[in-house]
Amino acid sequence: MNYEYILVKEQVAPYIALIQLNRPKELNALNLQLMGEVREALKSLDDNDAVRVIIITGNERAFAAGADIKQMSDKNAIDMLKIDQFSTWDQIKKTKKPIIAAVSGFALGGGCELVMHCDCVVASETAQFGQPEIKIGVMPGAGGTQRLPRAVGKALAMEMVLTGDFISAERALAAGLINKIVPVEVLMEETIRMAKAMAKNSPIALQMAKESVLKSFENSLTEGLYFERKNFYMLFATEDQKEGMAAFVNKRKPDFKGR
Ligand code: CAA
């Protein structure tokens, strides 16, 4: 596929793919085309058996500074309804494989919301997170008011959404928005290290485990536990379960095939 606003590497390391947002002059502002490309790339990588984990990154200055304000500024409510930009995000949410965000610089508005669509987040010391939509007369629209309080709790989510102020990587780590902070020079290396630790596991188990964790945000505990149990039992239908347990018993490394 030829993309205009993203770069895709299918094998940045074995079983690990990379999507780089690539609109540097606009701080990777997420216009409709860019988001459509991210959706297409994720779908294609999700369907590719040679990929087990996906990394999304930006550049040193910006992961993404939000939805493209210039593209939205003259729209009315009906235009926005018809454009229906968030249906693209609904597709991104359906990605089955684990996604890790590697964040340096600004992750604002839709950029912060894209980070929250990812399953884990590695940030550089320079990363800043925010939902500044309130400062331009609107509010988050790609999940910020829902995912942020689930990630960081009500008080900080309210502060971020109502003031529009950014938080540092340290505060994001303390609040539980991100997994770790690393020096900017080793951001990709450290993200790939985390991706490798996932990718060495059974890809089917990875998908079912991701699906089960995400269910915990949607269901009651009883329903969630029931869902988890079904997925756990289902994994006993895989060759990977036989291989993983045999490898443990025989004190060797497993060789998972994704079957
Ligand atoms: N949309 C469109 N263009 C943007 C942009 C955005 N979200 N963010 C930055 N840019 C553009 C700037 O207009 C500028 O372009 P020009 O050189 O053509 O003027 C270029 O990127 C560089 O930006 P700045 O000159 O502003 O850089 P800075 O270092 O002075 O400031 C910043 C950086 C604080 C991130 C500032 O650019 C900023 O506040 N950006 C907007 C952040 C924002 O409000 N995001 C929320 C968008 S709405 C949204 O995301 C809705 C949703 O929920 C989906």
Domains defined for the chain, CATH in brackets: 6-199 (3.90.226.10), 203-249 (1.10.12)
Angle subtended at Cα 215 by Cα 88 and Cα 230, rounded to the nearest 5 degrees: 125
What's the whole-model pTM score?
Answer: 0.97
161 in ligand 1 pocket by Cβ < 6 Å? no
pLDDT at 74: 97
Any idea which residues carry the catalytic annotation?
67, 110, 113, 133
Q: Is 113 in the pocket of ligand 1 (CB under 6 A)?
A: yes
Positions in the chain whose pLDDT score sits under 70: none
Query: Which of 88, 205, 47 lies closest to 213, judged by CA?
Result: 205
85 CA: nearest ligand 1 atom: 54
Q: How many residues does the chain have?
A: 259
pLDDT at site 115: 98
Give me the amino acid identity at 91.
Q
Per-residue model confidence (pLDDT) at position 1: 78
Q: How far is the centre of ligand 1, averaged over its atoms, from the C-alpha of 9 (Å)?
A: 27
- Residue of the nearest CA to atom 10 in ligand 1? 26
Distances (CA, A) of 181 to 75, 125, 178, 184: 38, 6, 8, 9
- Residue 25 CA to ligand 1 centre (angstroms): 10
Q: Are 182 and 124 in contact (CB under 8 A)?
A: yes
